[in-house]
Amino acid sequence: MRRLLRKPARPAPRSRTPNPASLLPLIWLASPALPIGGFSYSEGLEAAVDAGHVRDEASASAWVGHQLHVSLARADLPVLARALPAWRRHDWARLAELDAWVRQTRETAEMRLQTEQMGRSLIEWLKTVQPEALANQHAPATLQAPTYPVAFGLALALHTPAITPVRDSLLAFAFGWAENMVQAAIKAVPLGQAAGQRMLARLMADIPAVVDTALTLRDSERQSFCPMLAILSAQHETQYSRLFRS
């Protein structure tokens, strides 16, 4: 009789154990409690509610989900993916290029003021928690007050170990954005906390693939073109009754 040869068992996939030295700073940076003003913006959502485009949990979830895929995935996340390694190697020219792109592609005054204000506030936060590391960067004057995604790259470079994967950093950024948008929907629609948690669960399911896409985009593929969002943001600047900052 021929002996049946069994194939050796395939080893189980080894999961990467999170490093607390990397994980805890990422959680801190992703927190909506970070005092940079993210909670005070709705990024067009409040105007969408006023216009009747968003009126309940389903429409709010669809709106924010589209914004994740069409706006964040093609603009801020790819910028952050390039800004973080640029801060680590002190590539001032690259950082200035990324910062200029963010300013130039904000389609309304409201959007530009948001990214500039949150960037400044994040730098002020770094002055409190990482003053020596920030001073040792010796960044040129043109990068003393960068836009938010570029400033977030600096916060990651100073606040997390160099071994922290860029992908994990983008996941933290995207989750922080998602949580702020869900809180904006809860206030503006308005929605209950349970509805907000269901929205956040849907966004969390999409975020990993969105981050993976952002990591593959070349500079020539990066874009910030969301006409409806821009129109609503412009309308929000003069909206009569507002909960959120303009």
Judge whether residue 244 has pLDDT over 60: yes
Q: Is the dihedral of CA 226, 231, 237, 241 positive or negative?
A: negative
Q: Where are the domains of the chain?
A: 44-235
What's the confidence (pLDDT) of residue 65? 97
Number of Cβ atoms within 10 Å of the Cβ of 29:
21
Average pLDDT of span 25-48:
93
Number of Cβ atoms within 10 Å of the Cβ of 17:
7
Helix (H) or strand (E) holding 198: helix 193-216
What's the confidence (pLDDT) of residue 1? 43
Quote the tokens at residue 244.
């959120």
Which stretches of 34-108 are DSSP H helices?
A: 45-50, 57-70, 76-88, 92-105
Q: Which fold has domain 44-235?
A: Urease accessory protein UreF (1.10.4190)
pTM of model > 0.75: yes
Q: How do residues 154-185 score in pLDDT, each as one tens digit?
A: 999 999 999 999 999 999 999 999 999 999 99
What's the confidence (pLDDT) of residue 33? 86
